Amino acid sequence: MKKARTIFVAVVSLSLIGSPSSHGQPQTPQGDPAATPQDVLKRIEQVEAKLCPPVAIAGHDIVFHSLADQMELYNVPGVSIAVINDGKIEWAKGYGTRETGVDSSVDINTLFQAASISKSVTALGTLHQVGSGTLDLDSNINDFLVSWQVPENAFTDKQPVTVRYLLCHGAGLNGHALGEYARGEKLPTPLQTLDGLPPSKVGAVRVVMEPGTEFRYSGGGYLVLLQALVDVIGKPFPEIMKESVFDPVGMNRSGYFQERDYRRADNAAVGHNGMGSILEGYWRRVTNLAGGGLWTTPSDLCRYAMEIQKALKGQSTVISRELAEEMLTAQVGSYGLGLILEGEGDCLTFGHGGNISGYNNTFFAYAHKGRGVAVMTNGQRGSALSEEIVRAVAVVYDWLELKPDVITPALLSPEELNKYTGRFVFNNALTANVSVEDGHLKMIGEDGRVFLWYPDADNHFYDLYSGWQLEFIFGEGDQVTGAVIAIAEGMGVKAEKADI
């Protein structure tokens, strides 16, 4: 199956709610020195009107949607956007509401829970400590851990766990995610979480394959990093990150938090579920601050991205050019040190996505072009919306790498298409029916979601709305027995045909 384009966000499903409104004036333009304020305002208006799917049909105009319409479609009450152009934040703007049913407009200073984007910021702070000599990229992490040690086994006998491997998810650790905790639930300590002890919701974080051999996403690895930083520096992790990253970069609205008092939270967006209703308890808490405890704004995420761009020019006080180059070098798979990487040379890009109950976010930046964008949402279904916003920015600013792919559909006869029709059950849970419509396949899920699958080859289809890709599984006698949808590189869902 062909590689699916990614924009560093997670995948969610869709439904409908009421129409949002935009609030606040955009941040004062600072980017392209040749652009007037009127030019920038025009670009903002174009971005707001040019949300689009990732795939277009050759010979047909791209179908664009407004930001307001797509916020309604995806049940996302609030959105915040910031755009980097010519090495500076050219504009930032908030839309919608922090909390449904309350007069609480999103503005450029509204805080959102960043989820896994926390890892990217943690990586910068960790590399700052590497540069100062506090940590070493390639030494055994147990040399720095005092209050806890990575248990050794046959895998670590071959290769120890190192800071490098922890940052790039190549340490061979389990612990993909370490659990979310609602208000009122007892929160485990980091050490309880690492050993899987109550009240932790997950098993112990352990090495389950030889470090350095393959990519295995592990939030647990970032909790190990947190513990090493705390042990060797002797300060709380939030304080370490404030001194290492937030203060020197100017991320003045950012912080790592486990507990936030809703009544006292300063301009923070409340999480919302897939139907657009307020999340019970307003947001979730995490024990793994390094992997998911960041609260921030798109503007601060852009400042983070610009710091990396500056470091590549030798202009950062946080990390050296050499460490920035390490950060943007693929270590295992397409993952660098805390960042997802795509492209190469002048087209090298970096970024990350983050999703937790009630929030979906993404940031994306070019390593060498002084461009980037960050989008944060307070909706469970904000992932697809974030992708469309990033793509709208790409269309308006002419970022070729993220413009919609244009495909020329293959001409398959109705008879050829009919063999793919029927009822499919994805992941033993979600049922969808596939039929033929005007030279393509139409899939309708029991959740109401609709896919229009256009063939670009025999048994390879693109969905125009999501950009996902579909192939069918055949059994004996050339009979379709299942299907696989590729969502992103290394991510997919599999279905069995229910009406064979």
474 residue type, one letter: F
Residue 321 burial (CB count, 10 A): 14
Predicted pLDDT of residue 466: 73
pLDDT value, residue 11? 31
State the pLDDT at residue 17.
25
Task: Give the domain-ending residue among 387, 402, 417.
Answer: 402
Supply the pLDDT for residue 19: 35
Its domain, for residue 483, covers 409-497
| Average pLDDT of the segment spanning 441-451 | 87
82 has a pLDDT exceeding 70: yes
pLDDT at 489: 60
Shared domain for 183 and 289, answered yes or no, is yes
| Both tokens assigned to 460 | 């390879």
Residue 404's pLDDT is 83
Q: Do 94 and 80 contact (CB within 8 A), yes or no?
A: yes
At 25, the pLDDT band (50, 70, 90 cuts) reads low
Count: domains in the chain: 2
Amino acid residing at 238: P
**Torsion of the alpha carbons at 242, 248, 253 and 258, rounded to the nearest 10:** -20
Is the per-residue pLDDT at 55 higher than 60? yes
Residue-wise pLDDT for 371-424, tens only, equals: 999 999 999 989 889 999 999 999 999 998 888 888 888 999 999 999 999 999
Residue 20 belongs to some domain of the structure: no
Residues 357 and 461 in one domain: no
Burial 267-296 (b: 16+ CB within 10 A, else e): ebbbbbebebebbebbbbbbbbbbbbbbbb
What's the pLDDT score for residue 5?
46
Residue 450 has pLDDT above 90, yes or no: no
Provide φ and ψ at 397, rounded to 5°.
Answer: -95, 5
* β partners of residue 84: 89, 372
Q: How confident is the model at residue 45 (pLDDT cuts 50, 70, 90)?
A: very high
Closest CA to 293 of 219, 231, 362, 224: 219
Q: Flag whether pLDDT at 23 surpasses 70.
A: no
Residue 340 lies in a domain: yes
Q: What pLDDT, in 10s, does the model give residues 282-329?
A: 999 999 999 999 999 999 999 999 999 999 999 999 999 999 999 999
19 found inside a domain: no
**What's the rounded Cα separation, in Å, for the pair 341 and 329?**
8
Asked if residue 259 has pLDDT above 70, the reply is yes
In a domain, residue 221? The reply is yes
One domain, residues 256 and 327: yes
CB-based contacts of 190, cutoff 8 Å, min separation 6: 223, 226, 227, 287, 288
Q: Please determine, for residue 8, whether its predicted confidence score (pLDDT) is greater than 50.
A: no
The predicted pLDDT at position 33 comes to 67
Least confident of 13-22, 149-158, 390-399: 13-22
CA distance 271 to 278: 6
Residues 6+ apart with CB under 8 A from 186: 199
pLDDT given for residue 180 in this prediction: 95
Q: What's the pLDDT band for 364 if we cut at 50, 70, 90?
A: very high
Q: Is the pLDDT of residue 1 over 50?
A: no
3-state SS class at 193: helix
Residues 14, 17, 18, 22: is their CA dihedral positive or negative? negative
Shared domain for 398 and 419, answered yes or no, is no
According to the model, what pLDDT value does residue 330 have?
94
Q: Using an 8 Å Cβ cutoff, are 387 and 54 in contact?
A: yes
Is residue 494 within 8 A of residue 426, CB to CB? The reply is yes
In contact, 395 and 403? CB cutoff 8 Å: yes
Pair 417, 348 in one domain: no
For the ranges 207-211, 456-460, 487-491, 493-497, which has the lowest average pLDDT? Answer: 487-491
**Mean pLDDT rounded to a whole number for the chain:** 91
Is the same domain home to 254 and 372?
yes
**Do 382 and 442 share a domain, yes or no?**
no
Q: Which CA distances in Å does 265 have to 136, 269, 286, 295?
A: 37, 9, 17, 11
Model confidence over 174-220: pLDDT tens digits?
A: 998 999 999 999 999 999 999 999 999 999 999 999 999 999 999 99
The number of beta carbons lying within 10 Å of the beta carbon of residue 122 is 30
Q: Which residues contact 177 (CB under 8 A, 6 or more apart)?
A: 202, 219
- Whether 484 maps to a domain, the answer reads yes
pLDDT at residue 304, as a whole number: 98
What are the Cα distances from residue 36, in Å, to 30, 57, 150? 10, 35, 55
The confidence score (pLDDT) of residue 373 equals 98
Amino acid letter at 282? Y
pLDDT of 334 reads 83
Instruction: For residue 122, give the H/E element and its range.
Output: helix 117-131
Partners of 486 in the β-ladder:
469, 492
Whether 95 maps to a domain, the answer reads no
What is the CATH classification number for the domain harbouring 488?
2.40.128.50
Is position 319 within any domain?
Answer: yes
Within 13 Å and on the Cβ side, how many CA atoms surround 391?
A: 30
Give the C-alpha separation, 418 to 455, whole Å.
Answer: 13
pLDDT digits (tens, 9 = 90+) for 365-380: 999 999 999 999 999 9
Helix (H) or strand (E) holding 432, with range, is: strand 430-437
Task: Judge if 301 and 417 occupy the same domain.
Answer: no
**The pLDDT value given to residue 20:** 42
Report the interhelical angle of 219-233 vs 117-131 (nearest 10°).
40
Are 278 and 398 found together in one domain?
Answer: yes
- The answer on pLDDT for 29 being more than 80 is no
Among candidate residues 366, 384, 402, the one where a domain is terminated: 402
Distance, CA of 214 to CA of 223 (rounded, Å): 19
Say if 103 falls within a structural domain: no
- What are the two backbone dihedrals, phi and then psi, of residue 295, each rounded to the nearest 5 degrees? -115, 130
Nearest to 442 by CA among 421, 426, 456: 421
Q: Give φ, ψ of 470 to 5 degrees.
A: -130, 135
Q: Give the containing element (helix H, strand E) for 457.
A: strand 450-457
The helix (run of H) or strand (run of E) holding residue 80 is strand 78-85
- The tens digit of pLDDT for each residue in 119-141 reads 999 999 999 999 999 999 999 99
387 and 430 assigned to the same domain: no
Instruction: Write the DSSP string, 372-387.
Output: EEEEEESSTTHHHHHH
**Which residue, 402, 424, 444, sits at the end of a domain?**
402
**What residues contact residue 232 under an 8 Å CB cut-off, 6+ apart?**
129, 134, 135, 144, 146
CA distance 14 to 443: 14
**Domain shared by 385 and 420, yes or no:** no
* Residue in the structure block whose two tokens are 């993404």: 362
Pair 427, 313 in one domain: no
CATH code, domain with 340: 3.40.710.10
Rounded CA separation 97/169 (Å): 36
